Amino acid sequence: MDGSFFRSYRRCDVRDSEVLVAVTVPFTAQNEYFQGFKQARRRDDDIAIANAGLRVSLEDDVVTSVTLAFGGVAATTTLAAETMERMKGRKWNEELLQIVTKSLVEELEVAPTAPGGMTAYRTTLLPSFFFKFYLHVRDELSRTLETVSALAGHERALLQPHVRPPHVATHLYEKVPSDQSPIDPIGRPLVHATAHQQATGEATYVDDMPCYCNELFGVLVISTQARAYIVSVDAAEALAIPGVHIFLSAKDIPEERNKCGEIVLDEEVFASTSVKYVGQPVGLVVADSEDVARRAARLVRVTYKVVDKPIITLQEAIEAKSWLPPFTAYCGDVSAAHAAAEHSLSGEVHVGGQEHFYLEPNAHLIVPGECNSTEVFCATQCPSTMQKAIARALGVPANLVVVRTKRMGGGFGGKDSRSAMAVVPAALAANVTGRPVRIVLERAEDMLITGTRHPFFARWRVSFNNEGVIRAMEMDLFSNAGYSVDFSRAVMERAIFSADNSYYCPNVRVTGHVCITNLPSNTAYRGFGGPQAMLVREDIMARVAAFLGLDATRVREVNLYKDGDKTHFRQQLEACSVRRCWADVKEQAHFKRRQELVQEFNRTHVYQKKGLAIVPTKFGAAFTIKFLNQAGALVMVYRDGSVLLTHGGTEMGQGLHTKMIQVASKALEIPYNKIHISETATNKVPNASPTAASMSSDLNGEAVLRACQVLRDRLAPYRKQHPDAGWDSWVAAAYLDRVQLSATGFYSLPNVSPFNFETQEGTPFNYFCFGVAVSEVQVDCLTGDHTVLRTDIVMDVGKSLNPAVDIGQIEGAFLQGQGLFTLEELRYSPEGELLTKGPGTYKLPGVQDIPCELNVTLLREAGNPKAVYSSKAIGEPPLFLAASVFFAIREAIAAARSDERFRGHGISDSVPRNTTASTKTVQSGTSCNLGAATSTDFFRLDSPATAERIRMACCDRITDIVRMPTPGTYKPWDVTV
């Protein structure tokens, strides 16, 4: 096997008649050294961004033969033949290292148009790999040759293999009072109600349901263009396949019924005259089986006419002013405060989107019934929304459509409005054929069709004094909404309300621009715009600290909210616990001592750096759309004393049903195991709001409580008459007396009002959740790899209904946030096609990404009178705490950039040095500062902080010689949307 073995991508020099029978890997000879290297998007990923196999034979310290093989830089494994030739006969010293570094970059530079993108990073990795190999060989030579100097301690540290410490975790929460009734489950860490069924695979999801004998399967035909007119749709070849029943498209539905959309009817069930994004449904093939339907769908021919260039990126949308009318929240006099301030700073930052990647893709089963009725088994967060969408498309009243949701395999916001993209076409097919129709999206389909978390771009300006106290802030937020409105206006509202994070500022102006592009409609996602805006605010705090030369922790701390402060949207903070969380987590994390240890590590290590960061979060609890703040419940008591509970919320693994059973158990004063929840259905609780906004426990819990209180009142005479008889006897007696043993409960959230952006008035939130996290990371500055060594979290959850569920939500949200801010990256072609359509190219956090030590503490003595049993919302608030990892990475990068030993290694005198800025207003930059560290050595780090971004921000002699292509001079493989 040599350099000619690999002939092209996935093709090698093996004849069809040849069979591989053995692979021999020889031992190295004396004075021969070999090492392999791999860099992937995450450490435990098998698919490499770039890799290398490096071998050298030496006579004393002189190179006699060498092989440098690299993958990920071309269509096949490539030998650096020219570099290998230059190495022969040279001594293994610093001069050789400089020659190889320059030669590898020149010989194997990845073209900016190359498939896979990350071209400068891939080029940078090649000499970075070789540098590690160089040190390894030099270390071996120094043991036998006196002429070869031994490695320094920081060099030897780089050669140590990565060993992940054993995982450690602690969970701290308040125990229930000793006098609490043993059957009162509130505050107890009970196991999730269906945990055992889910862990063993016995839990039933939609696609697990047995098939009906006459069931059909539907597969969507989707657009391959992002912005084009439809010339024709030809399904003749597909319909000719045996087993194919129908092909539905826009021509089969009245125009008015083809319209859909969550807030605005600006979408179509099937594209009629034009398509607006790659993945837009054009039609539906319905066949006897999934295999036949998928084969037929590929045969439907759609002809397009492309007239206009699609708008894909936020930069393109901003240039075209393709946005909804902007809106602003403000307080104070921002202009006057800027003018009077001691310092001003401005900058930009981009926050990438995130795929929901629920384990269960969109799956729905539609069963037509008598009298034009329809029963729908639906994996959705909002059965009532699906009921409304289906009824509209079928042209029937909502009472003829029953939507049932037993559970989902994850949702995160992606199965709120966007489930309609799959379930409505299938409902139309069931209506036309009169037979049950199942539709289950494949992962790639789901990712193409349903949209993601909104990518954000922000421009900001901030003014502050010498102590880092923020006096004025203005921020322009731009979100990539995709092709339709959906929830994007509400997402931007939440982003504007979150732009303060946990910091007081008397003069603020935040303006939101919802940009319309030719991407799938981006939608709700855990946090709902809050994490993006809060990251922008934390970026401001980090850059202010860098500008002043202050510890970022100090700058954050002096600006934290206090109880009674007002936000920039003029809502007063009550029971603000952020300073308590801050103090507690600093103490529990031994912050000061570990900060000193990190500084000591960075003094003794050059190519590896550590970072430590503390970040708070504030999250407002309520739907910002007022009418959604309502919930209903139905509680039915049977003659044997068992209770069947139904409420408007859906279970997607988050433990909502478990908490609702606990609420009912306490309210009725009966054991937890006497209560069961079967499913959520529109024929049990009508007009339910989505299970979203972290409000499901608050709203549905109060509804359940009220229904149970009605039943308690009805049973009160029997309890009084026979106090020792027990629940079952009271129920039996009440039944014999013809007392109604079912009750409904309804709750509407008081004291909230929509925020009016014209008058700057309103109370959008019922209360606020707070939390603080400390994270420590270690970064490999030569590859961009990072390890989260430890995270400590203190979270205010009020009086926890279930500490086990709440801590699980905190840990899950944190890991999802970690994916958002450090790993998960959506890549689109310049034409708008999603290129990361599955786990092979889109990377979620893995086992090795979990913090090696993860400590979660629920804040003590933190009741909340504004929610059921003094609890607080939990689903979304903890997610942003993962930004502590992002900013710890930033601290590690800053340590590398300020270390002359790393930055200056091999730099020639011709490289310009950084100079101190002398102007009052400073625009933050993105370029590498290769000179001495100064107070203005701050830099832009966009999210996510991937290995690519980390490595390219750790500027050194290698990044200095890698050419960065000039935008606009080439067509890239992918673009940042």
- Which has more pLDDT, 603 or 25? 603
Is the pLDDT assigned to residue 932 strictly greater than 80?
Answer: no
pLDDT at 912: 38
State how far the Cα of 781 lies from the Cα of 284, in Å rounded to an integer: 50
In this structure, the dihedral spanned by the alpha carbons of residues 786, 789, 791 and 792, taken in order and rounded to 10 degrees, is -160
**β-pairing, 228-234 with 274-275?**
antiparallel
CA dist., res. 951 & res. 779, Å (int): 9
pLDDT value of position 922 = 42
What is the model's pLDDT at position 566? 98
Total count of residues recorded for the chain? 977
Q: How confident is the model at residue 935 (pLDDT cuts 50, 70, 90)?
A: very low
Share of the chain above pLDDT 70, in %: 96
Q: How confident is the model at residue 962 (pLDDT cuts 50, 70, 90)?
A: very high
> What's the mean pLDDT in 886-899?
97
From the candidates 155, 360, 876, 948, give the one annotated as an active-site residue.
Answer: 876
Q: For residue 937, what pLDDT is reported? A: 59
- For residue 733, what are its two tokens? 């007696």
Residue 146 CA to chain centroid, in angstroms? 53
Position 246 pLDDT exceeds 90: yes
User: What pLDDT score does 925 carry?
Assistant: 44
Mean pLDDT of the chain, nearest integer: 95
pLDDT tens per residue, range 66-88: 999 999 999 899 999 999 999 99
Helix (H) or strand (E) holding 219: strand 216-222
Residue 905 above 90 pLDDT? Answer: no
Measured CA to CA, the distance from residue 679 to residue 660 in angstroms comes to 13
Map residue 742 onto helix, strand or coil: strand
Cβ(477)–Cβ(499) under 8 Å? yes
Q: Degrees (nearest 5) of the Cα angle 921, 924, 928?
A: 140
Q: Which of 231, 454, 205, 438 is nearest to 324 (CA)?
A: 454
Distance in angstroms (rounded) separating the CA atoms of residues 81 and 66: 10
Q: What is the pLDDT of residue 908?
A: 37
Strands 327-331 and 267-268: unpaired
Give the mean model confidence (pLDDT) for residues 260-287: 97
- pLDDT of residue 914 exceeding 70, the answer is no
**Contact predicate 945/890, CB 8 Å:** yes
Query: How open is the CA angle 310-315-319, to the nearest 5 degrees?
Result: 80
In whole angstroms, what is the distance from residue 669 CA to residue 663 CA?
A: 10
Q: What is the model's pLDDT at position 182?
A: 96
Per-residue pLDDT band at 43 (split at 50, 70, 90): confident
Neighbour count for residue 214 (Cβ, 10 Å): 10
Tokens for 328? 């602003």
Residue 928 above 80 pLDDT?
no
pLDDT at 933: 35
Q: Which residue has the tokens 């339910």?
A: 688
Q: Given this model, what pLDDT does residue 13 score?
A: 85
| Separation between Cα atoms, residue 80 and residue 102, nearest integer Å | 12
The pLDDT value given to residue 930: 34
Facing residues of 55 across strands? 34, 67
pLDDT in tens, 419-440: 999 999 999 999 999 999 999 9
Catalytic residue status for 876: yes
| pLDDT value, residue 793 | 98
CA dist 437 and 298 (Å) reads 19
Residue 219 to residue 208: CA distance in whole angstroms? 18
pLDDT at 910: 36
**The predicted structure's pLDDT at residue 904:** 66
Percent of the chain with pLDDT over 90: 92
Q: Strands 853-858, 786-795: parallel, antiparallel or unpaired by DSSP?
A: parallel
Residue 965: pLDDT band by 50, 70, 90 thresholds? Answer: confident
Confidence at residue 857, expressed as pLDDT on a 0 to 100 scale: 98
Structure tokens at 79: 């030998």
How high is the pLDDT of residue 66?
98
Task: Express each pLDDT in 551-578 by its tens digit.
Answer: 999 999 999 999 999 999 999 999 999 9
755, 761 Cβ separation under 8 angstroms: yes
Tokens of 621: 């609890």
